[in-house]
Amino acid sequence: MIQPRTMPSKSVTEQLVTNQVDVKMTDQGACRFCGTSLRYTVVDLGMSPLCESYVSCAQLNQMEAFYPLHVFVCEKCYLVQLQEYVSREAIFGEYAYFSSYSDSWLRHCSNYVDRVVERFKYDRNSYVAELASNDGYLLQYFVAKGIPVLGIEPAANVAEVAAKKGVATLVKFFGVKTARELVAQGQQADLIVANNALAQVPDVNDFVEGMRIFLKPQGVVTVEFPHLLRLMEENQFDTIYHEHFSYFSFLTAEKIFAAHGLTLFDVEELPTHGGSLRIYARHADDDSKPVGARVAELRNREMASGFTQMERYSTFDEQVKETKRKLLEFLINAKREGKSIAGYGAPGKGNTLLNYCGIRYDFLDYTVDRSPYKQGKFLPGTHIPIFHPDKIRETKPDYVLILPWNLKEEIRQQLSYVREWGGRLVVPIPAVEVLA
């Protein structure tokens, strides 16, 4: 039985005593969607810094803030979630992640634009908006087709890059207030795109209601997010970090959108980020887009997999612990053999992995990243230095640990030269694997 974190009922108490489980009587707040008290833990990754708070040389000897990475599941709506420990302004006011540094992600977005334009017949008379539009990585492809766009992005530093690409960008957080302001100016969207943004909003109701307000009567919303089913099946615990407030099954996403008068009429399963969903939503009273067969198929598959049963969430914590043990075993053995180990990438997921596993520069000599914004800084918490990718060719490590493992094929091609000196590439998730 999954462990409650507040005073349980008598029958559950008896079971927990039998299993010798320590239950803390603490108030863990309420579900951000339905308001139900949060009592049940999915996984506890301990204390961790904000994953995009890269450390400068001047900050190395300063105090660094750590916050709990304790994940709960709501027993009513099954939304998996972190509490909000830091304001969204503190996280996203200036952001270190630029989407355009991944070639495979850009191809993914370009293909999406081609498909959605063809499917829904968008043209110069259409209006496309993206929420959390980052550096214009996606909207640039609509611009190239002559389709009017608006990016809405809270981080001014990345919005500035988008503007240089010709992507008109509003530097604001999106929600009901912003949506009403846009509607008052006579703006509503034919297409609203939100890629990997739904998980990053602390007030999910405000965000989805804002989409409803901003969407034209026969408009379409597409949202991409990491699929909870894949996250749990493939042990992708490093996808959990403070910037991600929520983790969605299709079942829970459908409930949230329905509560705001939006119907999910299609869904696609994607390989991105280790396994994501792209959901398609429309106004509930828009009968021009019938609900497709993939909606019922995925809904039924998740139900069959137990995502409406609390027991389904109870085994994940032990899976995570075992992954930590195996990764540390590999690193310890490699170091005892005198091997050198470098990292590739400085992604948010890598910072969760390294901090949870206690991997610092005693195991990882350094890491590299293509983003100039990160080069010359240090990873949060672990203080592993970040260099330009040329550092790998210069130092010739025996192993390169790929931290953004979801991009392993792209990175594998970029690092093919490592074989010249007998180096090997390693991925940590879903299990430690030395790539051939």
Residue 175 identity (one-letter amino acid):
G
The full set of domain ranges for the chain reads 99-313, 316-434
316-434, superfamily in CATH?
A: NAD(P)-binding Rossmann-like Domain (3.40.50.720)
Q: Maximum CA pair distance of the chain?
A: 67
Q: How many residues are present in the chain?
A: 436
DSSP one-letter string for 404-434: SGGGHHHHHHHTGGGGGGT-EEEE-SSS-EE
CA-based nearest residue to 196, from 112, 262, 119: 112
pLDDT of residue 91: 59
* Structure tokens that stand for 79 in this block: 């939304």
CB 381 within 8 A of CB 351: yes
181-231 pLDDT tens trace:
999 999 999 999 999 999 999 999 999 999 999 999 999 999 999 999 999
DSSP for 69-106? EEEEE-TTT--EE----S-HHHHHSS----GGG-HHHH
In this prediction, residues 312-330 reach a mean pLDDT of 95
Q: Which two tokens stand for residue 321?
A: 């612990």
Confidence of residue 19 (pLDDT cuts 50, 70, 90): very low
Contact predicate 307/228, CB 8 Å: yes
- State percent of the chain over pLDDT 90: 79
CATH topology of 99-313 equal to that of 316-434?
Answer: yes
CA nearest neighbour of 388 among 400, 376, 401, 403 = 376
Residues 6+ apart with CB under 8 A from 157: 94, 95
- How confident is the model at residue 369, as a pLDDT? 95
Over residues 235-294, the pLDDT tens digits come to 999 999 888 999 999 999 999 999 999 999 999 999 988 899 999 999 999 999 999 999
3-class secondary-structure state, position 282: strand
pLDDT at 21: 30
> What pLDDT is attached to residue 55?
95
Q: Give Rg (Cα) of the chain.
A: 22
Q: What is the spatial distance between Cα 195 and Cα 214, in angstroms, rounded to a whole number? A: 17
**8 A C-beta contact, residue 238 and residue 352:** yes
H and E: helices and strands count for the chain: 14, 17
Residue 25 has pLDDT above 80, yes or no: no
* pLDDT single digits (tens) 33-92: 999 999 999 999 999 998 888 999 999 999 999 999 999 999 999 999 998 887 666 655
In three-state secondary structure terms, 217 is strand
Burial of 328 (0-12, 13-18, 19+ CB in 10 A): middle
Residues 171 and 159 sit within 8 Å (Cβ to Cβ): yes
pLDDT tens digits along 26-40: 457 999 999 999 999
Answer yes or no: are the C-beta atoms of 50 and 67 closer than 8 Å: yes
Pairing of strands 262-270, 276-283: antiparallel
Q: Is it the case that residue 323 has pLDDT exceeding 50? A: yes
Question: Could you tell me the CATH superfamily of domain 99-313?
Answer: Vaccinia Virus protein VP39 (3.40.50.150)
Residue 409 CA, chain-centre distance (Å), reads 19
Global model pTM greater than 0.85: yes
- For residue 180, what are its two tokens? 């009403």
Q: At residue 143, what are phi and psi to the nearest 5 degrees?
A: -60, -40
Dist CA 13 CA 142 (whole Å): 57
Q: Tell me the average pLDDT across 412-433.
A: 96
- Measured CA distances, 381 to 11, 50, 212, 263, 388 (Å): 41, 9, 39, 42, 20
Q: 164 CB contacts (<8 Å, ≥6 apart)?
A: none
Distance CA 143, CA 124 (A): 10
Q: At 296, which helix (H) or strand (E)?
A: helix 293-304
Mean pLDDT of 381-399: 98
